[in-house]
């Protein structure tokens, strides 16, 4: 297994911070306000124009009396996970494959609620210019693919597309993944700096509306519908703050369920309105235009409870990269549904 400098940092953080959370992992009634161990949650917001279940919970008033302390923006889940593992933030969200990877490396983190999913409405995909030059996976040998960050969902699904397109491991190594700020990926494609771009959610829909690009593949075409991101907490945070954890996760789950109900009622505009007003009130009203394309959180499970398959589906990809030993993984230690009131003990 390869250990990068960031992994060694995380292993050190694990040794210093890892405390058992098993005693705290119990379901029960939400704590009263005066029982919360802490009422301030530090987090990083995403640079993408997508709906955050955490901020949506705050916008709906479900988090109260907990308040959020935003400590900046983050570009990509792996960086967000590292911030959580090293105590810079209390909660983070990331691609489930990245969560699995970092936990296998020793990071003291546990996924507690699904954060985002992929379905027909939301599916990211791999896009190329509609100029006839790039049509298949084989056309990408020796070329560049733009992604939001390395080691996350976009790189994983693009690699799966290349493999299913008949490329050998050696040929896949000839494809270069270029990390780019999410708002810049589309323009890099149109400028010819990359040959394909992984575009997702509102940025994808805005790019399609402008025309001139086509899908080489979509995540949902390759893998079906699935929950692809989870929110994670440090194990020592859970152990020290069981009541706060219960309240926090319950609030996020309620916000997810509210959004899911609005989607069923075809009232997505209400979600966008609530979220947009929240961001404007926080002084973050610029760059909201892509939100008009928002359609769904894409989460399969009510209230975002986590399925084992949400992690199991990425073991093969990580194993093929030599980053985890699939045979040694215990997925039950990666996530917990015990704080989610919508989980009824099902898998």
Instruction: Say which CATH number the domain at 314 has.
Output: 3.40.190.10
**Polymer length of the chain:** 347
Regarding whether 57 and 146 lie in a shared domain, the answer is no
The confidence score (pLDDT) of residue 115 equals: 97
Same domain for 91 and 211:
no
pLDDT exceeds 50 at position 21: no
Phi, psi dihedral angles at 48 (to 5 degrees): -90, 155
Q: Are residues 38 and 109 in the same domain?
A: yes
**Residue 126 pLDDT more than 90?**
yes
The mean pLDDT value of the chain amounts to 88
**87 & 139 share domain:** no
Give the pLDDT confidence score for residue 329 in this predicted structure. Answer: 85
Neighbours of 315 (CB within 10 A): 18
For the segment 282-297, what is each residue's pLDDT rounded down to a tens digit? 998 887 888 888 999 9
Decide which of 190, 223, 256 is a domain's last residue: 223
> To 10 degrees, what angle do helices 268-281 and 242-264 make?
130
Cis peptide before 127 (omega within 30 of 0): no
- Tell me whether strands 91-95 and 226-234 are parallel, antiparallel or unpaired: antiparallel
Considering the domain architecture, whether residues 231 and 219 belong to the same structural domain is answered as no
Residues 107 and 231 in one domain: yes
Give me the pLDDT at residue 316, please.
87
Under the banding of pLDDT at 50, 70 and 90, the label for residue 14 is very low
Q: What is the tens place of the pLDDT at every residue in 62-84?
A: 999 999 999 998 877 888 999 99
d(CA 108, CA 58): 26
| Helix or strand (DSSP H, E) at 184 | none
Does a structural domain hold residue 339? Answer: no
For the chain, how many structural domains are there in total?
A: 2
344 within a domain of the structure (yes/no) = no
Residues 59 and 155 in one domain: no
The answer to whether 153 touches 97, Cβ cutoff 8 Å, is yes
Which pLDDT band, with edges at 50, 70 and 90, does 196 fall under? very high
What's the pLDDT band for 32 if we cut at 50, 70, 90?
low
User: Does the residue 347 lie in any domain?
Assistant: no
Q: Are residues 200 and 70 in the same domain?
A: no
> Which pLDDT belongs to residue 8?
40
Beta-carbon count within 10 A of 171 CB: 17
Asked if residue 346 belongs to a domain, the reply is no
Q: Are residues 218 and 230 in the same domain?
A: no
Residue where a domain terminates, one of 223, 238, 273: 223
- In this prediction, residue 108 has a pLDDT band, given cuts at 50, 70 and 90, of very high
In a domain, 338, yes or no: no
243 shares a domain with 219: no
Q: Are 320 and 234 in the same domain?
A: yes
Could you give the CA distance from residue 147 to residue 74 in angstroms, rounded to a whole number? 15
Residue 176: what pLDDT? 97
| Residue where a domain terminates, one of 200, 223, 246 | 223
What pLDDT shows up at residue 28?
A: 43
Domain ranges, residue 193? 125-223
User: Is-contact 163 172, C-beta < 8 A?
Assistant: yes
Global pTM reads 0.85
Q: Is residue 345 part of a domain?
A: no
Residues 137 and 219 in one domain: yes
């Amino acid at each position: 297994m390869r250990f990068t400098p960031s992994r060694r940092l995380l292993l050190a953080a694990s040794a210093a911070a890892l405390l058992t959370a098993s005693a705290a992992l119990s379901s029960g009634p939400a704590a009263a306000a005066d029982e919360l161990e802490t009422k301030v949650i530090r987090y990083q917001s995403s640079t993408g124009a997508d709906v955050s279940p955490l901020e949506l919970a705050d916008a709906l008033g479900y988090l109260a009396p907990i308040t959020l302390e935003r400590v900046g923006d983050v570009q990509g889940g792996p960086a967000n996970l590292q911030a959580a593992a090293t105590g810079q933030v209390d909660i983070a969200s990331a691609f489930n494959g990245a969560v699995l990877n970092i936990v296998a490396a020793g990071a003291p983190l546990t996924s507690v609620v699904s954060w985002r999913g992929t379905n027909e409405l939301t599916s990211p995909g791999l896009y190329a210019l509609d100029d006839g030059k790039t049509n298949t996976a084989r056309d990408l040998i020796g070329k560049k693919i733009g992604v939001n960050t390395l080691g996350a969902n976009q790189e994983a699904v693009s690699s799966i597309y290349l493999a299913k397109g008949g490329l050998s491991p050696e040929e896949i190594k000839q494809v270069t993944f270029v990390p780019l700020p999410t708002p810049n990926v589309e323009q890099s494609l149109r400028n010819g700096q990359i040959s394909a771009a992984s575009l997702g959610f509102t940025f994808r829909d805005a790019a399609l509306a402008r025309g001139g690009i086509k899908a080489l593949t979509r995540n949902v075409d390759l893998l079906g519908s699935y929950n692809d991101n989870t929110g994670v907490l440090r194990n020592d945070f859970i152990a020290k703050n069981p009541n706060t954890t219960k309240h926090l996760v319950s609030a996020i789950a309620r916000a997810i369920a509210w959004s899911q109900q609005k989607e069923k009622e075809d009232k997505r505009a209400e979600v966008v309105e609530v979220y947009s007003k929240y961001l404007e009130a926080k002084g973050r009203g610029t760059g909201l235009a892509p939100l008009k394309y928002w359609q769904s959180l894409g989460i399969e499970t009510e209230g975002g409870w986590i399925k084992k398959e949400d992690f199991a589906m990425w073991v093969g990809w990580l194993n093929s990269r030599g980053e985890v030993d699939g045979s040694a993984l215990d997925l039950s230690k990666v996530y917990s549904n015990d704080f989610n009131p919508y989980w009824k003990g099902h898998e």
